[in-house]
Amino acid sequence: MKKTVTQMPDGRRLIYYDVRDDVARDEVDARYATRAVTTSEVRYDPLRGEWVLIAAHRQGRTYQPPSDECPLCPSPAGHSEIMAAGYDVVVFENRFPSLTGHGGPDALRAVQGLRAPGRHWESAPSAGRCEVMCFSSDHEASFADLPPAQVALVLAAWTDRTAELSRTPGVEQVFLFEDRGKETGMSLVHPHGQIYAYPFVTPRTERVLAAVAAHRDRTGRNLFDDLLATESRGERVVIQGRHWTAFVPNAAHWPYEVHLYPRRRVPDLTALDDDARAEFPDLYLDLLRRFDRLFGAEPGPVPYISAWLQAPVAAPEDFALHLELFTVRRSPVKLKHLAGSELLMDVYVNEIAPEAAAARLRELG
């Protein structure tokens, strides 16, 4: 992998990741030099114990543009963020970010101070960073269309961004994800994902860490290890590789939901060994293609969300890196909409039994 760091005229960073070492990235980007005005705040909800990002500038972000105006296609034209004639993988700072600061000790202290008594109705600048990762220069492709070598490059880029952002002052957790399909809220069709570098540990992660700690106190064992050992020998396994296991969780929230774990527990992508990295591309592509065959060709590409859950920067010991993949479609003509129970009480209702979902996904291999 060759990594080339460049700068856009408005000061944002753009990084090329190329398979070949002899690719030269010496383009001079002389387009618009005015940075988009971004104002974003972090607020803390003391009743729910949750962080909320207030980012009013995102109301005007690019949404479902025509294909000839896609900002992620390689083009020297003004509509594109990427002026190169072509690329393998590209990462750049989001022009309409939810997190608009670059962190630092002062920014981190301001965010963490919102938990203090009497400060719950205040706000702090949204330290952190939001980046966009383009998986391919082909506008019509999807992740499942990529060759294994391209997926290996994406994995290397994910790992590199995790490592660099984890070292950034003020960043507490790095989150990588992809939404595909308008049904998931995706605003651009081009195959891409996003990276959030949070200035706090996310509420879900805090709940998971509390459960892991309680299990350790009660049993002396790691909760992730026990979960994976149980699921690996059960009827909800979808794919069993030498270094990865994919299964539908016992308490799946979504109609078709798969969790993918390395069989050796590691806290984040930077800790994966070479064997796990080598096996990942073919196995993950197999999983995505099974999802694409779930409902046949008529409804179109399956909308899904795929995300890496990684340990917080400061608490990696007991956390287990894993990928979660799910679709919001429950039949060729029906979507799983979150309603009152899910949205307000955090109690999910799943219309498809996890064992039936796993059996269906195994059939599609």
H helices of 91-202, where? 105-112, 148-166
Residue 32 has pLDDT above 80, yes or no: no
Q: Which pTM was predicted?
A: 0.94
Q: Indicate the range of 24-33, 242-251, 280-289, 351-360 predicted with least confidence.
A: 24-33
Q: How confident is the model at residue 39 (pLDDT cuts 50, 70, 90)?
A: confident
Whether the pLDDT of residue 5 is over 80: the answer is yes
**What's the pLDDT band for 67 if we cut at 50, 70, 90?**
confident
Distance from C-alpha of 219 to C-alpha of 199, rounded to nearest angstrom: 32
Q: What percent of the chain has pLDDT over 70?
A: 95
102 confidence band (pLDDT: 50, 70, 90): low
Residue with tokens 């190329």, as numbered in its chain: 18
Q: Tokens in use for 184?
A: 């998931």
Question: Is 259 assigned a ligand-binding role in the annotation?
Answer: no
57, 102, 192, 337: the active-site residue: 192
Residue 322 marked ligand-binding: no
Structural domains of the chain ordered from first start: 2-202 (3.30.428.10), 205-363 (3.30.428.10)
Helix (H) or strand (E) holding 218: helix 203-219
Strands (E), the chain: 2-7, 13-18, 41-45, 50-54, 89-93, 124-125, 129-134, 173-180, 192-198, 237-240, 244-247, 256-262, 304-309, 322-327, 329-331, 334-335
How does pLDDT run across 246-280, given as a tens digit for each residue? 999 999 999 999 999 999 999 999 999 999 999 99
Round the average pLDDT of the chain to a whole number and report it: 91
pLDDT digits (tens, 9 = 90+) for 194-218: 999 999 999 999 999 999 999 999 9
What distance in Å separates the CA atoms of residue 62 and residue 68, rounded to the nearest whole number? 14
Query: Does 130 appear as a known binding residue?
Result: no
Q: Can you give the pLDDT at residue 190?
A: 93
Q: Specify the higher pLDDT residue, 126 or 277.
A: 277
The question of whether 192 is a catalytic residue gets the answer yes
User: Is 134 annotated as a binding-site member?
Assistant: no
